Chain A
């Protein structure tokens, strides 16, 4: 059912009878990927309400992640917080710091703590729990993977069924895949690692692959100028500067899939959120693999969690928790994953028959799940947005050749320290 039909159907229902709801919930959700995300969330709440006639959930679409947080904080400061929101997992400490959210732990039974909270992939829980409490429930979570163009591999004399296993291999393959015309202008680059807007996300994958980490679990210390971090940034810079396998400058995140489809880049790094997009639009067969690491496999997690907002009574919050539990149950989460391309956050979801069928028909979808065992949390610290902006600017400065990687990262670490020392 489309949203529009849905609206008409609901309007018709209301015209017939207006049932008295015992509990009325507001639920803000962002949409960050194409396809049917908004419709699927709407259908999810509709189905829940059908099964629970005493609860009414208004699923309110709230723009991007940033817009959603803006709306939630504005509403909270205006004394009118929603009960439930989906917002960036990386914002956990910011929400704790603002005292905007309440932990799930006190609202779930002991049995559920083990069976439900314990059932999520640890990589996703890494930035959903802090101080021994669970602040977020993983839902629309993603992780980046490498996509490669099998036709381009064939043309370059490479095995089209095998992507690069590590960074050195990626550079080697990249050199073979970089095609120049008679005048020396590059027609096809070997690889594209987009760097616009939030370069720290993909960079943290390289850091993880070098054996490093972004931050401590308490969220008050960053490791921006660790040897692993510097090596990771030097590796990106080298791709265009010395290896010559990637276009110079900041590369747009949004147009990266297009560059892939157009044959401008033979390998791209992007989110699993693009799986459906690539599957529909790539005019050639493609492979999906783990991010190649400098030393080992490594990747960040990303995406959004459910949060409960302060300023609501216990009955409302308990009802919200019940909905979250239902939405992350195997059957519902499987539908969600298939509709959007997000990574199903629990092992039991992957065991459902629908999910097994899906993976059988589209094995690339399982790559993200298998990569999770090597994943670290994306940068999740206090004053998260500010610290993330600092590191993003530093990465951009190094990628565009304004500063050396070490110089840029030393400065970023000093700036981050200045902010985070208040939280130690």
Chain B
């Protein structure tokens, strides 16, 4: 048994060397930094205890970012997971043109998000943008979707759903391929309705993938902010401010490393509770063969 332990650790050791060096040690350093003030040339860092966290509690932008992130997650997580499964169901069997349909769903993963954000900016542009042109055709007045607080967050979230659904589709597609065709044929002969087959056979069989996809969707809802930089920069007036984007701003625009560290720790804490919690809670229930 000892030997088995040793072997197990040998299997995970190489990966852990890199994880420690490039993730865990820097994260611990970030945690330490979050209890210190930001060093400026003339003023070295000093220990401030929980001051950065206290500052956060009083920071209205942080509060706004948290609320926005929650809304953003509530939209993008179910929408992208649901759509990705629908897409995978559309393309997992062969028919004329299936390759093209797959490529269509896969494009969000291939195109760089920064370039894509520029395309969406064009779609959203009031006046000459695609949506404005379409609205004009049916006689509707143009709306400034990214330029007004009421819609900016949703305009950004739509891009996220587009990106994430196409991305998760790949994993569902892979999972659906593993469902044996004879099973489906047998079910069809017995007059089993497709919906019943999906609910009784397909859904339980792809549960491990659903767990994987949904954990990643939660993380993605916090991580995917590249397009915010191009589309709204968190504006107008923080209407589309998201937690990770705010961390970038504080860390790499304001260079307030200490505060950025504290914000990062909050992000990690949230993801740990939600993501890892979700994983361990669900992992027991998932039926792995």
Contacts and interface: CB of A to CB of B under 8 A. Distances in A.
- A contacts B: CB pair < 8 Å: yes
Interface of A: 66, 69-70, 73, 94, 96-100, 183, 185, 195-197, 247-252, 254-255, 258-259, 262, 264-265, 383, 385-386, 389, 392-394, 396-397, 399-400, 402
Interface stretch (B77-85, B103-111, B198-206, B250-258): B250-258
B238 A99 contact: no
State the majority secondary structure of interface residues on B. Answer: loop
B147 A97 contact: no
B146 A252 contact: yes
Contacts of B149: 400, 402
B237 A393 contact: yes
A98 B40 contact: yes
Contact of B236 (A247, A255, A264, A400): A400
Contact of B128 (A248, A262, A386): A262
Given A66-B252, A259-B127, A386-B256, A248 B144 contact: yes
Which 3 residue pairs of A and B lie closest in terms of their CB atoms, listed nearest first? A99-B41, A250-B147, A249-B144
28 contacts: A66-B253, A69-B252, A70-B252, A96-B41, A97-B40, A98-B41, A196-B232, A248-B144, A250-B146, A250-B148, A250-B236, A251-B147, A252-B147, A254-B118, A254-B121, A255-B125, A258-B128, A259-B127, A264-B128, A265-B127, A385-B255, A386-B256, A389-B249, A389-B253, A389-B254, A397-B237, A400-B149, A402-B149
Interface residues of B, number: 32
A252 B127 CA distance: 11
A105 B3 CA distance: 69
A252 B121 contact: yes
B235 interface: yes
A238 B42 CA distance: 45
A185 B141 contact: yes
A134 to B, nearest CB: 18
Interface in B25-40: 40
B16 interface: no
B235 A392 contact: yes
B139 interface: yes
Contacts of A392: 235
Nearest to B229: A66
B121 A255 contact: yes
Contacts of A66: 252-253
B90 interface: no
Given A97-B41, A400-B237, A383 B254 contact: yes
Contacts of B256: 386
A154 B161 CA distance: 46
A159 B128 CA distance: 27
Contacts of A383: 254
Given A386-B256, A389-B253, A402-B149, A249 B237 contact: no
A371 B40 CA distance: 37
Nearest to A96: B41
B252 A247 contact: no
A70 B238 CA distance: 22
A197 B41 contact: no
Contact of B254 (A99, A262, A385): A385
A66 B251 CA distance: 11
Nearest to A99: B41
Contacts of A258: 125, 128
B254 A249 contact: no
Interface string B87-127: 00000000000000000000000000000001001100111
Interface in B198-251: 232-233, 235-238, 249
A389 B128 CA distance: 29
Contacts, number: 97
Given A185-B141, A402-B149, 16 more contacts: A96-B41, A99-B40, A100-B41, A247-B144, A249-B148, A250-B148, A251-B147, A252-B125, A252-B146, A254-B121, A383-B254, A385-B253, A393-B235, A393-B237, A393-B238, A400-B236
B255 A73 contact: yes
Nearest to A77: B257
Given A99-B41, A251-B147, A264-B127, A396 B237 contact: yes
A94 B149 CA distance: 30
* Residue of B41, B136, B236 with most partner-chain A CB within 10 A: B236
B253 A196 contact: no
A247 B126 contact: yes
Contacts of A389: 249, 253-254
Contact of B255 (A98, A196, A396, A400): A98
A265 B253 CA distance: 32
A265 B128 CA distance: 11
Nearest to A261: B128
A46 B121 CA distance: 38
A94 B40 CA distance: 9
Contacts of A247: 126-127, 142, 144
A83 B139 CA distance: 58
Contacts of A195: 147
Nearest to B61: A393
B42 A99 contact: yes
A98 B122 CA distance: 39
Contacts of B255: 73, 94, 98, 385
Contacts of B235: 196-197, 250, 392-393, 396
B147 A249 contact: yes
A265 B249 CA distance: 32
A199 to B, nearest CB: 9
Nearest to A393: B237
A185 B253 CA distance: 40
Contacts of B144: 247-251
B195 to A, nearest CB: 45
B58 to A, nearest CB: 11
Interface string B144-185: 101111000000000000000000000000000000000000
A383 B61 CA distance: 17
Given A70-B252, A386-B256, A396 B127 contact: no
Contact of A402 (B136, B237, B252, B254): B237
A93 B63 CA distance: 29
A183 B121 contact: no
Nearest to B236: A396
B67 to A, nearest CB: 15
B65 to A, nearest CB: 12
A331 B232 CA distance: 40
B245 to A, nearest CB: 12
